[in-house]
Amino acid sequence: MVDEQVRGALRDFVAERDWAQFHTPENLAKSIAIEAGELLECFQWGAEPDPEAVRHELADVLSYCLHLAERLDLDADRIVLEKLEMTREKYPVDKARGSSAKYDQL
């Protein structure tokens, strides 16, 4: 899912600036929340946001998520697929299709 070229580019970017020292799991988790708030802000006043702003903020969220996964020595592809399988079990197609109900309300 996430190309090794992307992961390498992120690692290189951080290493070139000696920023790994600031990338504690706590700081990265905070940064994800902050950038997610900035992404949400794109939709604050309506459903038609500036596509370029959305692209930039989404890239920030994804980048910090990948930084955190690497810092915690987690394979981002693997954890997403594992979680998808867990969610698939909670939301079987025959019950969840077309419904936004929480799994315990299906």
Residue 24 corresponds to which amino acid? T
pLDDT tens column, 43-93: 999 889 999 999 999 999 999 999 999 999 999 999 999 999 999 999 999
* One-letter-per-residue 3-state SS of 51-102: HHHHHHHHHHHHHHHHHHHHHCCCCHHHHHHHHHHHHHHHCCHHHHCCCCCC
Q: Taken in order 24, 64, 13, 2, is the CA torsion positive or negative?
A: positive
What is the pTM (predicted TM-score) of this model? 0.91
- What phi and psi values does residue 91 have, to the nearest 5 degrees? -125, 70
Q: Can you read off the two tokens belonging to residue 57? A: 């903020």
pLDDT tens column, 9-57: 999 999 999 999 999 999 999 999 999 999 999 999 988 999 999 999 9
